[in-house]
Structure 1
Amino acid sequence: MKVCRVIRIIGLLGIAVALLYSAKACAQRITVLTEHLPPFQLVQSEDIGGFATQIVNKVFEHAKVDYDLSHHQWSDAYQYTLKTPNTCLYSTIKTPEREPLFSWVGKITDLSTALYAKTDSDIQLSSLEDAKQYTVAVMKEDFFHQHLLSLGFVENENLYVSETYRTLTELLELPTRHIDLVIINAGHLPYRISQSQSLSDLKLVLDVDELHPDMYLACNLKTDAATLTSLHDSMKVLSERGEFERIEREWHKRQHLDN
């Protein structure tokens, strides 16, 4: 199976241009988009790694489906997949609102996320409703952005929307932004701390069940039906074999040894 990869951070127009040139270079079947979100998706130099990427690679190889893989800002990748046939996206969260918008191929892993504040903050919360009296920063177009909007949070009032995770985790350091809380993936936090030690000065303020959703591989509704069936069947077989857990476990073990 021939696999081609386009490794760029570009907008929606750039995605289309890059994939047009890529299609000339190889027999493209499925376009796969993702974002830089360690440890799930880890972009380093000319490679997209991370254990979720390894799982997705394994699924496509098992299904014998050719694909292009590229990374972009999450909002661009999400919108492009929503509008473009034969395009898939990972790792994305399945919600009742999103369910009719995509073909959901299968679960990759789960996500442990919580609200964090600076350690010198006196904020105490017992529910997300309590957080409405503060300003919470989230990633644009991700599950938590949409979820907080559904709970009645209002952008530019008590909800600040960030384009990138790097910006998101730096917001608490900017007094002019008046950000009180950020929603951060617990698995992503150690990576961000390794990039900026100031982020170690954070404390967990609220951890609730609704902040622990599952993460999926999802595709545009007009993706080739036979391809979707092959991908779904491969995910089921590999998951039942325990391949996903093995990949994640071995990836974390290697990272621990490297550090």
Structure 2
Amino acid sequence: MRSSCLRDLSVALVLLVSGAYSALTYAHAITAVTEELPPYNMTIDGKLTGMGTEVVEAVLEELGETARIQSMPWARAYDIALNTENVLIYSIARTPQREALFKWVGVIAPTRWYLFSLPGMHFNLKSLEDAKQYQIATVKEDVGEQYLISNGFAVGRNLQSSNKYEHNYQKLKAGRVDLWISNELNAHYLVRQGSGNPNEAAVPQLSLDDLGGTNGLCLAFSRKTSDERVEQFRQALARVRADGRYDAIAAKWLK
């Protein structure tokens, strides 16, 4: 009888320890969030892919980690990363406004920002001040919208905010806006996809060199993530860059 009780107690302890370990593991599991920003992050045939996604997957593989990667409107992804523990967000521009809001891992893709128009249009823009007379398409809470607002633009006055980048291209085609703030790769990709012409491109009307373009798009963690975990990802990204995996991914997407 005593032996049976001890055996039952042992089983109960094993289950308790196992359950506690599973709960701890779950508590430290990573959630990764992003948006539809082709060719960096995009869903094709139900699968999330793109340059940024492939770099993130390479870093996770290097660490032997798994993460649930979810694509959603940028404002929602941004809010989750601001307020939730162990959240990885990409592809995010690193700006002074965002510096203290996240724990930064590193650059995963290049980017350059412009005010764009459709082919055949021309605007004699010498500065951002010149652009305030026009209607400009933005994405809610993305770096382009934040940048313009910080420079005196306002949603509802000269900014029209959307949840997705492709919506802005559609607004531009329909003549509902005059200009579109976007990074170079995304703008050209959407114009080519929308027109069906692989040689067509968006037309840059004003370069926004102070919009974090030299830093590129980054991988970052929510503030409610341990410094140890963040450092592990920094080192893994460095290894992915050092051994050629990053260059192979970039060569595939940056054509």
TM-score, normalised via structure 1 length: 0.80
How many Å separate the matches in 2 of 1:174 and 1:198?
17
CA 1:122–1:252 in 2, change beyond 3 Å: closer, same or farther?
closer
Post-superposition shift, 1:166? Answer: 1.3
How many Å separate the matches in 2 of 1:118 and 1:238?
37
Match of 1:249 in 2: 251
How many Å separate the matches in 2 of 1:33 and 1:219?
10
Match of 1:77 in 2: 77
Out of 227, 231, 241, the residue aligned to residue 233 of structure 2 is: 231
How many Å separate the matches in 1 of 2:111 and 2:89?
16
| C-alpha contact (below 8 Å) 1:90/1:217 kept by paired residues | yes
* Equivalent position amino acid for 2:241 in 1: S
For the pair 1:195 / 2:196, whether they are aligned, the reply is no
Unaligned runs of 5+ in 1: 1-22, 254-259
In the comparison of the two structures, how many residue pairs are matched? 228
CA 1:61–1:129 in 2, change beyond 3 Å: closer, same or farther?
same
How many Å separate the matches in 2 of 1:201 and 1:237?
35
SS at structure 2 position matched to 1:144: helix
* Equivalent position amino acid for 1:226 in 2: E
Post-superposition shift, 1:37? Answer: 1.1
C-alpha deviations, 1:60-100, integer Å up to 9, x for none?
Answer: 11122231111101111111111110111000011111011
How many Å separate the matches in 1 of 2:201 and 2:147?
27
RMSD: 2.4
* Equivalent position amino acid for 2:84 in 1: T
How many Å separate the matches in 2 of 1:201 and 1:59?
32
Which sits farther off after the overlay, 71-80 or 242-251? 242-251
Pairs within 5 Å for 1:1-259: 29-175=29-175, 177=176, 179-197=177-195, 200=200, 202-211=202-211, 212-213=213-214, 214-252=216-254
How many Å separate the matches in 1 of 2:230 and 2:249?
22
| C-alpha contact (below 8 Å) 1:65/1:227 kept by paired residues | no
SS at structure 2 position matched to 1:108: strand
* Equivalent position amino acid for 1:135 in 2: Q
Post-superposition shift, 1:122? Answer: 4.1
* Equivalent position amino acid for 1:196 in 2: G
Match of 2:10 in 1: none
Which sits farther off after the overlay, 243-252 or 75-84? 243-252
Post-superposition shift, 1:162? Answer: 1.3
Larger Rg, first or second structure (1 or 2): 2
C-alpha deviations, 1:99-127, integer Å up to 9, x for none?
Answer: 11111111112212221223443421122
| C-alpha contact (below 8 Å) 2:191/2:201 kept by paired residues | no
Unaligned runs of 5+ in 2: 1-21
* Equivalent position amino acid for 1:234 in 2: A
How many Å separate the matches in 2 of 1:77 and 1:190?
24
